[in-house]
Chains A and B, each alone.
Chain A
Amino acid sequence: MGKIDRSFKRRLMEEPEAKVRLIVRTRGEPKIYRSLLARRGIQVKRELALIKALAIECEAFSALALLREGWVVSLEEDREVRALP
């Protein structure tokens, strides 16, 4: 996988105003990017230290802009998981 799955990128481009939940993997410690993201109006929901990532919520166009950042390793949808009874 590159920085983003192609079909997911297409979805973001089709609805740039849509609110999306994402997992952003970062180069280096994720906490150092919190304030940078906050300044852009991106809400950081969780810091995930084990794989160096942040769970964020923002508009699709903001997510697409992150792809140009050198410190962003990858972007993926924060997908739903369910109990399996």
Chain B
Amino acid sequence: MFQDMKTKPADAQIPIIVKYGKFPKRPLESLLASTHPSRTFRIIPAAALTTTPKVIENLSRDPDVERIWPDLPVRVCLDASVPLIGAPRVWEAGYAGEGVKIAILDTGIDPYHPDFAGRIVATADFTGEGLQDWDGHGTHVAGIAAGSGQASKGRYRGLSPQASLYIAKVLGREGAGLMSDVMAGIEWAVEQEVDIINLSLGGDPPCDGTDALSETCDLAVEKGYVVCVAAGNGGPEPYTIGPPGCAKQVITVGASTDQDEVADFSSRGPTADGQIKPDIVLPGAGIISCRAKDTYLGNPVGENYAELSGSSMATPHASGIAALILQARPELTPTQLKALLMDTAIDLGLSPNDQGAGRADAYAAYLEELTPVTPSPGGEGCLLRLLGL
């Protein structure tokens, strides 16, 4: 660290964590008052502050200071985002998605990735390329929803590590496809009688929910399938949600950060017909999940994992939570499940067209007493609940 500092200008502001050998007699706030610590810690005798190289050098000469670390930015790995949204507490209660069927409609999958061993039940290819994921996106998405974490000794475990996977390849090796390919994939998922359909994909805005793909999604919801859709990456401007994120009855998912802020890139509502969207946000920045063999999408993290950001990554967090909740409460309809996730989301204090109802939380949703929800056919029931009407 100190080698690096020699190259920094004298007035550079460097974030650090200072640790003392033991708790000093004077409170850390007072001891470090001149350096304006942003945070002091109670478990270890340490403080976080941002200061100049000169002050850091002086601190390093203080015999009471045991160690100084750079205060590095933290990435939201699955090992961070999954606990952040309370999933391990639902696992502890005995629910890890067993018996729940999740369809991932995406760029295919690496079927030999250890994290999916024995859990890919059915596959279909609508691209003519074959099932193999040559892009890497679909494998990453599937890992977030339902990876077992086997290749990382459990570190990068997905939300519902015991759920069954149904894989439809609807996007080609460039990560693109046609709306009709996705619609065919949805029909296949409905034929397979899955419980949840994950769509980490979208087209260009504007959209008002009347396009063929959005209406197909809404019909699937009406038939009893939970459909989770990415809001898009066109933020932070409003009116940036494209199809099928503008479908009225799906769960439209925006991306949040590890600081529980809405990611800048996450698309914002309203939709072209004035609906409030997204419905919820979930972690989607710097997510480490499964990497398909011989792919280089995002930042590779070893042979079996990669780091990616996007509302594509937030969406399978929602599908994974949905699988946990459906295992615990299989009687829930898709509309009730959506209302449950929205009602128990943590309000981030932002506009509903930025955050929806807030950042969803698996454990809060699991604990919530089920209250009857009687939505109107257009799904306005959820909207009225969101508005508190």
Contacts and interface: CB of A to CB of B under 8 A. Distances in A.
Interface string B307-330: 011111100000000000000000
Contact of A48 (B140, B212, B230, B313): B212
Given A48-B184, A82-B176, A85-B310, A76 B211 contact: yes
A84 B77 CA distance: 18
Interface string A7-22: 0000000000000010
B233 to A, nearest CB: 5
Interface in B86-141: 106-107, 135, 137-138, 140
Contacts of B190: 50
Interface residues of B, number: 45
B232 interface: yes
A81 B135 CA distance: 15
B203 A51 contact: no
A45 B180 contact: yes
A48 B180 contact: yes
Interface in A60-83: 76, 78-83
A58 interface: no
B186 A83 contact: no
B140 A51 contact: no
Given A1-B210, A48-B187, A50-B190, A84 B178 contact: no
Interface residues of A, number: 21
A4 interface: no
B180 A83 contact: no
A83 B181 CA distance: 13
Contacts of A84: 200-202, 230, 232-233, 310-312
B106 A82 contact: no
Contact of B201 (A45, A49, A81): A81
Q: Which 7 A-B pairs have the closest CB atoms?
A: A55-B180, A83-B175, A84-B312, A85-B310, A83-B137, A23-B212, A81-B203
24 contacts: A23-B180, A48-B183, A50-B187, A51-B212, A51-B215, A53-B212, A55-B183, A55-B184, A79-B211, A81-B171, A81-B182, A81-B203, A82-B171, A82-B177, A82-B202, A82-B203, A83-B137, A83-B176, A84-B200, A84-B201, A84-B312, A85-B175, A85-B308, A85-B309
Interface of B: 106-107, 135, 137-138, 140, 171, 175-184, 186-187, 190, 200-204, 210-213, 215-216, 219-220, 230, 232-233, 243, 297-298, 308-313
Given A51-B219, A80-B176, 11 more contacts: A1-B210, A48-B180, A76-B212, A79-B178, A79-B211, A80-B178, A83-B175, A84-B201, A84-B232, A85-B140, A85-B297
